[in-house]
Structure 1
Amino acid sequence: MCAYRQFAAVYDRLMEDMPYPDWLRFARECWERYGMPKTVVDLGCGTGSIAIPLARSGFHVFGIDLSADMLTIGQSKWDESPRQAIRSNAGSIRWLQQNMRDWELPEQVDTVISFCDCINYLIEEEDVEAAFRATYGGLKPGGVFLFDVHAPVTLKRYAEEQPFVLDERDVAYIWTCELDRERLEIEHRLTIFARDGKQDMRFNRIEEVHVQRAYEPVWIRGALARAGFTKVEAFADFKLELPDNKSERLFFAAVK
């Protein structure tokens, strides 16, 4: 999985239009269905855009990510949260630098989430299976694993619609994609120009390469079953509705 390095510094700016409220709503709807947790692992937490709202709502969250830079930014955002905006029954966050393929905690948790297509960054089947096994081991009996992935059709659409361009006052990028259709693996190449400070008109150039792979839903179900999960349900596009061949973002709920 990508360590992000320089990208961490502009990550939140580029991701500010991502549907974080929809992920949070989807998680709560699932928890109403499977059981409301107290302890949550956010696997691939990035800069905490989901972990922090959960903690502010009273959950005890473990934010796990491979990138130390992302975790540092997440910690800063949490530290700078307005104290008056945080409820008296607020939970907590513990930030941990670990690989999602073999993450572990001293105690098992009630639920694990992994949103924003983190699983797609595992580009070998054995890595996905390892992450599923680690997650199964980290959950309490009856705990639920919620995650989403880009469907194969989404990566194909990226390849067909690229290049993508952003041109704003403080940041710009050129984003191209190349798809290996046999492996359903896509390489994203980004050239980002980010302004160096609010008053400085100089721009830093950041080069990033991100590789993702899509997996067929039937294979994902099988991998979850091999990891030990006994009940698996699939949904689509932030709704508790069955996916079809037009669904772009697939969601899974796997119960231990």
Structure 2
Amino acid sequence: MWAGGIMDIFYGRIAEWWPVISPLEEYASEGAEIRRVLHEARPAARSLLELGSGGGHVAFHLKAGLDCLLTDLSPDMLEVSRRLNPECGHLAADMRTLDLDRRFDLVLAHDAIAYMTTEADLRAAFATAYRHLKPGGLALFIPDDVLETFEPGEADAFGGDSPDGRSARAMDWVGELETDGTAMVHYAFLLREADGRMSSMAESHRVGVFARKDWELWLAEEGFAVETVQERTDEDRTPRFFFLGTRPRD
């Protein structure tokens, strides 16, 4: 899905720009909400596995008091995260096939879960989360959209300025829902080096869009006790659904 594929620019060639393109401070509110949900559900949790951790910006706001293992397909994004979260473990792995001899109190799959474009992919990620949870442990899945909230044509602009003199501006544009239940998200990047040199590039990512009822059904069929809540946010967007799955106690 990543290596040699259509996402080589964002998660490969310009991965080192991630802290400039998507500044850490932009994740503070979101991280606080995820931490609130996890803490209220499992206040005694001490370990967390993240599937699709990217540059580690979400983990940065969650890691206090937790033994964290962060996994992602992109070695370049993991290197960015290592610099930000040196106290966390890091592992290059596919969320569909990861199989460790270890169980965790918590498993988190944030927006990277959107790259599961088929039912089989999504179920495989659910199975990975389930087998890595301790009995009574909690998995939290946070897709950007479900079918009921998906809005084609949405466009967002983002970016930032780094203390080292670099600047980045980016935009994403959400395409139409296709007949196979996927959509393309188109990205454009404008990067300014500290010496003023400019570069621009673009690429497109395919994401899966599934109905809320399918998320809940497939999680239950993978063995989870399922609860769905909507996030609390003051951002100007539709609140996302948080899918919580508990692995029953043996």
* Alignment TM class, shorter chain as reference: 0.7 to 0.9
Q: Which residue of 1 is the match for residue 128 of structure 2? A: 134
Match of 1:160 in 2: 153
Partner residue, 2:164: none
Match for residue 68 of structure 1?
75
Q: Name 2:242's counterpart in structure 1.
A: 251
Write out per-residue CA displacement over residues 140-197 of structure 1, whole angstroms, 9 at most, x where no aligned residue. Answer: 10000012111224432xx2344x556877223353332124344221222211112x
User: Are 1:232 and 2:220 matched, yes or no?
Assistant: no
1:42 aligns with 2:50: yes
User: For residue 39 of structure 1, what is the amino acid of its counterpart?
Assistant: S
Contact 2:21 2:170 in 1 (8 A): no
Instruction: Report if the CA contact (8 A) 2:35-2:62 is conserved.
Output: no
Q: CA deviation at 1:222?
A: 1.1
Cα 1:228–1:167 change in 2 (3 A) is closer
Q: Which residue of 1 aligns with 2:210?
A: 215
Aligned pair count? 230
- Answer yes or no: is 1:143 the counterpart of 2:165: no
How many angstroms apart in 2 are the aligned matches of 1:20 and 1:185? 29
Shift of 1:7: 3.6
Q: Which residue of 2 aligns with 1:51?
A: 59
SS in 2 for 1:32: helix
Alignment root-mean-square deviation, CA: 2.4
Instruction: Check the 8 A contact 2:55/2:81 in 1, yes or no.
Output: yes
Partners in 1 of 2:104 and 2:171 — Cα distance? Answer: 40
| AA partner of residue 255 (structure 1) | T
User: Runs of at least 4 residues of structure 1 off by over 4 A?
Assistant: 164-169
TM-score by length of 2: 0.82
1:88-142 Cα shifts (integer Å, max 9, x gaps): xxxx411000001111222111110112x22111101100001101110111100
TM-fit CA distance, 1:73: 0.8
Cα offset, 1:215, TM superposition? 0.8
2:177 equivalent to 1:180: yes
Residue type of the partner of 2:106? T
Identity of aligned residues (%): 24
Deviation at 1:54, TM superposition (A): 3.1
The answer for unaligned runs of 5 or more in structure 2 is 162-166
Match of 1:242 in 2: none
TM-score by length of 1: 0.80
